[in-house]
Structure 1
Amino acid sequence: MNLFVPGRLCLFGEHSDWAGKYRTMNADIVPGMAIVTGVEQGIEATAEASERFEVTCSAPELTELWHDFSCDMDSAKLKEIARSGNFFAYCAGVASYMMEWYNVGGVKINITSMTLPMKSGLSSSAAICVLVARAFNLLYNLNLNTMGEMNIAYVGELRTSSRCGRLDQACAFGVKPVLMTFDGEEMDVQPLNVRKDLYWVFADLCAEKDTIRILADLNKGYPFASDEKERNEHWALGEGNRELINRAVEYIANGDAEKLGMLMREAQNTFDEKIAPLCPKELTAPKLHKILSDEYIQTLTWGGKGVGSQGDGSIQFLAKDKVCQDRLISYLTEIGLRPYKLTIKAVHSVRKAIIPVAGFGTRLYPATRCLKKDFFPIVDKDGLVKPVIMILLEELINSGIEEICLVLGSEEERKQYKEFFETRLSSEHFNKLNAAAQEYENKILNIGKRLRYVYQKEKLGFGHAVYQCNEFVNGDPVILLLGDTLYHSFSNKPCALQLIEAYEKYNKPMISIHDIPLAVVSHYGVVSGIWENKEETLLNMTTFCEKPKAAFAEEHLGVKTKDGITKYFSVFGQYILTSEVFEQLGENIRNYNGTGEVELTTALEQVRNKVGMIGVRLNGKMYDMGNVNAFRKTIAEY
């Protein structure tokens, strides 16, 4: 398998990870908070199972410095290497932990590319530790979630001479910013919404600093402050940092780059005033401050600050735009620094939706001879009798969707939608309606303006139907709802909005899920995986199986909950599809040999293997309209 783990850059909140850990000894310490992101530079590798633990290299960046490493899967030998101090110490530290706590064989890792600079404040050591933990996890199906990989990487690195912080392993979450909270031994990680592209530049100052000295001096003030300087440090890493981080999260979510840049300058000033006096020899940092005050750089950036432990190690800037980012890279290179580009991409909000309604509705015959099943009437929660499709469209509109594409079986079917959504009632009928109903009539017509139509003229499967919307989607993320399913939210957020908000944090394909009895799994698509959060609402999917037998599901597809119960999860009927899904559907259609159908499930499983996929446990209930019994239940309960 192919693996990539980036380096990490701490945007705000450096030092707060170890400071927050001291809450185990002093409850008055404010939990630490930091905003950390993976960078574009990292380590690429291939991994395969092996009898031994081996690390080889074919990366052109390292060929002159590299010698291959190989060791028996022996805990004592691996621990000895971990204490040796060389680059492989980090790999061996993680491998020794895996050997002790998991029943695993060896792993052979070949590093194919190393674009991540070492000893530049970007945690190359944490990246290699996460990469090794991930290789063991995936090759031996250990079912560790991202936090599990992070924790093993952290413990593995602690087995070396390194004294890494907890925020270093944030690289496990990839190239996106996350909010990390450190409360004693507890750590929480939350992905952040990014409203607009942010153009970062960070650079190695090509100077010297003593990180061990910095950490030693700053740790003297913990867990209890003994003088004014140490009280200032507690405030700066605690209450002051928390207030600053909360503003940073807000500015990132709003896409306010100018305010975010000003906040970087404020953070640096606070550090210089409140923390640097504890280690003046290292934190006076003349080169850092000379570059920060460069007048030309200030014309290109909204702000800048130090990186990591601070000192004359590395520097970071938020450029005003892409042109300024490129100019800044060129200028920093000219003055002898080693700069790197980081563009934190905005997560595009989901503004488009798809509803396939091309089926005849055989199981609801003969009513479907005269009325498409998505026009069957249902009493909605507001007491109005509405067609199913109207309830679905209102859910989407209330979730911020601007355009909806309906997949029909033929142009002939369009007549029913045109009559309902585009044709005004006659004056005779309209005038009989009360004021509220007349207003609702206008709502129907306004929704009609958002509708687009495509046609599945060949019935080659559900995946083929969805792919007819490829031109409509145009590479944007899109939410897919089923045309014969209704969704009831148990909160004030529609189910569709819950799913969209999850996507905006994780930026991955999403499938809504709900638990079902083991006895009925053979009727559904069943997913399995590892919980990504404590609330057990986000499932990092490892398997997607269409209509498995109960015995197979019991052995392979159960998901343990925090109360020890094994549950089985099926698709809830809402999906967030990304460009990768449509590319895969297109490939599957091109390779279609006329046997079977082009299934969406197949494409989703293929995409999950490539980029990952999240199952989202929504706070709501689904109502199926696809057969007589389900329709009867929906009428009675919805």
Structure 2
Amino acid sequence: MRPIRKAVLPVAGLGTRFLPATKAVPKELLPIIDTPILSYAIEEATQAGITEFIFVIARGKEGIAKQVGHNPDLMRTLNADGKGDLAAVVEASTIPEGRASFIYQDKPMGLGHAIWCARHAVGDEPFAVLLPDDVILSPQSALADLLAAHEAVGGNIAAVIDVAKQDTSKYGILAVEGEEGRMVRASDLVEKPAPEKAPSNVAIIGRYVLEPGIFSALSDTKAGSGDEIQLTDAMRRRIADAPFHGVRIDGTRFDCGTKNGLLEATVAFALAREDTAGTMQRILSSYGQHSAWSRVG
């Protein structure tokens, strides 16, 4: 089996939940401390062995290309000013030349449509998908676990978490027919079912390894939940020909597509970093001790 080297990152969303901040800045470039949301996904993919990145973007989000590309002027300035440590940080967040491509999704029609837009860039080979809004704090790359599962069982793979029953309407949900360790075998998938109709509480989050046959399924998939072309619907149609497995992540997932998720991720990552943990602990302690803070604003 050929190693998986390509990853699709759908980043065409308008980020309306974060207006006015996202009027000029793509939501994927909003920071968790000093690192853009997008950079966490790129780092995770790189650690898993991904070498080619395909970004599905929208008009007006060209800042993403600037963020992941080389900036020779900045590098020269940093090195000339004796800030080689910062230059190294910038270089580490840069995708090597020729390894990033950008495809425009002219109309927002759902995750399935965004992935379908990347079909020519992916070609006829398995590939990974990372939704940057889902940031995972983990001892190792969550995507690497999915790639290992794909090598073992093939088919389509997704990262999954267990959610509260009342939250099933927010996710694609698996009908579970078997489990082994952190791997779950699915007999069916349902997009955003009501809690009383959900086949389980095992929910898909934003990491996938997909077989190229998904593109033909997407081509024939009609708009579903939210009047959008849903990836879950296309994967469901492929179950008879390509088995579907979920892999429970070894870590904590934060939905940084929401304000609360980004706020929580900032706290969690700050506590996990040596250079910020002490400060964050003092801040949390201070806010806990002074109830007046809760009345500010």
Residue 611 (str. 1) matches residue 265 (str. 2): no
For the Cα contact (< 8 Å) 1:424–1:445, is it kept in 2?
Answer: no
Question: 2:104 maps to which residue?
Answer: 455
Question: 1:363 maps to which residue?
Answer: 17
Question: 1:520 maps to which residue?
Answer: 167
Question: 1:421 maps to which residue?
Answer: 69
Question: 2:209 maps to which residue?
Answer: 576
Provide the TM-score with structure 1 as the length reference. Answer: 0.40
Q: CA deviation at 1:587?
A: 2.6
Q: Aligned partners of 2:16 and 2:82: how far apart in 1?
A: 35
Q: Aligned partners of 2:253 and 2:63: how far apart in 1?
A: 29
Runs of 5+ unmatched residues, structure 1: 1-346, 380-384, 559-567
Q: Which has the higher contact order (CA 8 A, sep 6+)?
A: 2
Question: 1:432 maps to which residue?
Answer: 81
Paired residue for 1:500, among 134, 147, 154? 147
Q: How does 1:237-276 map to 2 (within 5 A)?
A: none
Q: Aligned partners of 1:425 and 1:396: how far apart in 2?
A: 27
Provide the TM-score with structure 2 as the length reference. Answer: 0.83
Q: Match for 2:217: what amino acid?
A: Q
Residue 623 (str. 1) matches residue 271 (str. 2): no
Runs of 5+ unmatched residues, structure 2: 270-297
Q: Match for 1:570: what amino acid?
A: A
Structure 1 residues 583 and 445: alpha-carbon distance in aligned structure 2, compared to 1, 3 A threshold: same
> SS at the partner of 2:43?
helix
Paired residue for 1:531, among 165, 169, 178? 178
For the Cα contact (< 8 Å) 2:4–2:127, is it kept in 1?
Answer: yes
Question: 1:406 maps to which residue?
Answer: 55
Pairwise CA RMSD of aligned residues? 2.1
Q: CA deviation at 1:532?
A: 4.1
Residue 464 (str. 1) matches residue 109 (str. 2): no
Q: Aligned partners of 2:105 and 2:83: how far apart in 1?
A: 39
Paired residue for 2:187, among 542, 545, 555? 542
Question: 2:232 maps to which residue?
Answer: 601
Q: How does 1:113-512 map to 2 (within 5 A)?
A: 347-379=1-33, 385-410=34-59, 412-418=60-66, 421-426=69-74, 427-432=76-81, 434-447=83-96, 449-489=98-138, 491=139, 493-512=140-159
How many residue pairs end up in the alignment? Answer: 267
Q: Aligned partners of 1:572 and 1:420: how far apart in 2?
A: 24
For the Cα contact (< 8 Å) 2:78–2:84, is it kept in 1?
Answer: no
> SS at the partner of 1:611?
coil
Structure 1 residues 614 and 442: alpha-carbon distance in aligned structure 2, compared to 1, 3 A threshold: same
> SS at the partner of 1:572?
strand
Structure 1 residues 630 and 442: alpha-carbon distance in aligned structure 2, compared to 1, 3 A threshold: closer
Q: Match for 1:396: what amino acid?
A: A
Q: CA deviation at 1:574?
A: 0.5
Q: Match for 2:57: what amino acid?
A: L
Q: CA deviation at 1:618?
A: 2.1
Q: CA deviation at 1:435?
A: 2.9
Structure 1 residues 592 and 359: alpha-carbon distance in aligned structure 2, compared to 1, 3 A threshold: closer
Paired residue for 1:587, among 217, 220, 223? 220
Percent of aligned pairs with the same amino acid = 24
Q: Match for 1:511: what amino acid?
A: A
Q: Match for 1:606: what amino acid?
A: R
> SS at the partner of 1:579?
coil
Q: Match for 2:29: what amino acid?
A: F
Q: Match for 1:520: what amino acid?
A: D
Q: Aligned partners of 2:237 and 2:36: how far apart in 1?
A: 35
Q: Aligned partners of 2:64 and 2:176: how far apart in 1?
A: 42
For the Cα contact (< 8 Å) 2:25–2:63, is it kept in 1?
Answer: no
